[in-house]
Structure 1
């Protein structure tokens, strides 16, 4: 006999739900925990993501590019007390892998720390002068 959707559970639909007499009833929260995803290898996803993260090799600027960069930096240093807005592109080394990424940040120049050779931005970020590959002043449209 083929079961039709209306006859499929007719024999049990009105019966009371079984409760064990030897075991306590499990709360719904614990019952649901049985079906939660299980990560057999904890930290594995982070390792895979770290391996998949792409890095770039540091590019060494040529003499002409380095000279042009130094000239732009010198002009910005002259106006550092005015706290100009600058756009800085620099190499950020990856802490876990060889290489790193090039990042461009636009922010206010707070100061230049000549002793430590750092460019201090308004957001608190310190950029090593040796890592900078491009810098220019952003026109202030206030």
Structure 2
């Protein structure tokens, strides 16, 4: 089976005498997909990211939380270990997320109403929904 290109089929590819061959990495870049909608994938990902709505504590839960915080105020000099569940509003869209942080209590302030931990964390009291600590178990029993 003789073909039309049999005479050139096994010849070497022509090389330019003026220009060096393009490196393989640069050649591969020519064939990367074209992103006509720059940022589209990021926008879709951001829209798909889920957030949680802030839950309002009922009066009984709020009172229980207040009592637990009052115990911590009295015992803050001891720097007790504690774990806080609190709400962090999302910076980009409606809603937020509930985050748990653990550490040692440094201080509780009235203005601003915050809890400070020894690691430098600052948690606004109005965002806190739950507090756990070994010193609370002793006082609440």
Structure-2-length-normalised TM-score: 0.79
- Quote the Cα distance in structure 2 between the aligned partners of 1:43 and 1:78: 52
- Contact 1:87/1:138 (CA < 8 Å) preserved in 2? no
| Pairing 1:16–2:15 present | no
Structure 1 residues 41 and 59 mapped into 2: Cα distance closer, same or farther (>3 Å)?
Answer: same
Superposed, which structure 2 residues align to 1:71-86 within 5 Å? Answer: 71-86=67-82
Any gaps of 5 or more consecutive residues in structure 1?
2-10
TM-score by length of 1: 0.78
Where do 1:51-130 residues align within 5 Å? Answer: 51-130=47-126
**For structure 1, which segment, 18-27 or 59-68, has the greater mean C-alpha deviation from structure 2 after superposition?**
18-27
Runs (5+) with no aligned partner, structure 2: 2-7, 136-141
Pair 1:12–1:122, CA change in 2 (3 A): farther
1:25 to 21, 38, 61: 21
Give the superposition deviation at 1:136: 1.4
User: RMSD of aligned C-alpha atoms?
Assistant: 2.3
More helix by share: 2
What CA distance in whole angstroms lies between the structure 2 residues aligned with 1:93 and 1:136? 22
